[in-house]
Amino acid sequence: MAGQTDSGSVHRIARWRAAGGTRGRVPGSLAVLTAAVLTFHSAVPNAVGRLGSLVEAFLPWLGLLVPLLLVVALVRRSAMALVAVLLPALAWLGQFGGLLLPVERGAHHLTVVQHNVSDENPDPVGTATALAAAAPDLVALEEVTPSALPAYAAALGSRYPYHAVEGTVGLWSAYPLTGVRRLDIRPSGIGEGWSRGLRAGVSTPEGEVAVYVAHLPSVRIGPSGFASRPRDESARLLGAAVAAEPVGRVVLLGDLNATVDDRGLAPLTSRMAAPRRGFALSWPASFPVSRIDQVLARSGTVTGIRTLPATGSDHLPVLARITWSRAAGS
């Protein structure tokens, strides 16, 4: 009797494995494909509809496929699929796991706030007051309209006596500003009136820091695909300006209309460090799915980034802390 039972168990296991192997082909293949996209997303071609940039814009969300594929593998009782699901899980953790760690609370040199305040913001005073309450050293704003500028200047002026505005972008600082100038990052075909960039020197206790504030062109998803060419061109111009910056320490604050994984920001992310911790999804404010409000640093580390409570904008503000490298300097 025992021999018959053992024989039956062996046959059942063999049938389960055989059925699982067949049933697991589809979820297993999807798991391998997901892991490949997460690991080698730069290989997804951009020639047709800029598909690569579209995938990279939402790359972290591919992680949602892991629990879904896990459930399918269990329902189908496929050992092969279960093993395959480990691949995208490990790929996701390798790519984004560090962002899940708590934001570092130790010593840092600079605290900054970045916020697209929206040109339709009904409460600029309340927005500015909320940003100042976070007590950053620098506040960078985009979509500052001429009509709202006096309100922002008045609300931020007492805490931040130094400020500069070029077009629709502005910088408020607790430290003196020097060398303020407009930054021309217009893509081809855009007129002189389009002004969305500035550069300013900031005299901090640790020395001179070059601060760039920028608002790159928006992107659209349409019948022809992911329309990101103007943004990418503007990013190249901004990257060239950062590359030519003589000051060693550089901070870039802005609504870049791209995630740091998007190859469109490669002219910047190849030269500057992105945050090491914190997802800080900032857009849209009602249900954030992406961080397109960025804080990048050269000769330093963005030790963490987090969102602040919603204001009257369709973006959430982000706050980041920066620590300079010992060897960095002017």
Q: What pLDDT is attached to residue 192?
A: 86
Q: Is residue 141 within a helix (H) or strand (E), and if so which, with residue range?
A: strand 138-142
Same domain? For 233 and 301 the reply is yes
What confidence tens digit (pLDDT) does each residue in 230-266 have? 999 999 999 999 999 999 999 999 999 999 999 999 9
- Residue with tokens 């217009």, as numbered in its chain: 186
Q: Are 65 and 53 in contact (CB under 8 A)?
A: no
Residues 6+ apart with CB under 8 A from 50: 225, 226, 227, 228, 229
CATH at residue 291:
3.60.10.10
Which pTM does this prediction carry?
A: 0.88
Same domain? For 135 and 236 the reply is yes
Same domain? For 309 and 208 the reply is yes
Q: What pLDDT is attached to residue 224?
A: 76
What is the span of the domain harbouring residue 140? 106-324
Q: What pLDDT is attached to residue 155?
A: 97
Q: What pLDDT is attached to residue 38?
A: 95
Kindly state the tokens that stand for 116: 């697209």
Specify the 3-state DSSP secondary structure of 130.
helix
Q: What pLDDT is attached to residue 15?
A: 57
The verdict on residue 329 lying in a domain is no
Q: What pLDDT is attached to residue 234?
A: 98
Same domain? For 87 and 140 the reply is no
The domain total for the chain is 2
The verdict on residue 330 lying in a domain is no
The verdict on residue 46 lying in a domain is yes
Same domain? For 76 and 119 the reply is no
Residues 6+ apart with CB under 8 A from 241: 183, 185, 199, 212
Same domain? For 93 and 118 the reply is no
Q: What pLDDT is attached to residue 324?
A: 96
With a cut of 50, which residues of the chain have pLDDT below it?
16, 330
β-partners of residue 254 are 214, 294
- Residue 108 DSSP symbol: -
Q: What pLDDT is attached to residue 232?
A: 96
Residues in the chain: 330
**How far, in Å, CA of 259 to CA of 233, rounded?**
16
Same domain? For 60 and 15 the reply is yes
Neighbours of 220 (CB within 10 A): 12
Q: Are 318 and 115 in contact (CB under 8 A)?
A: yes
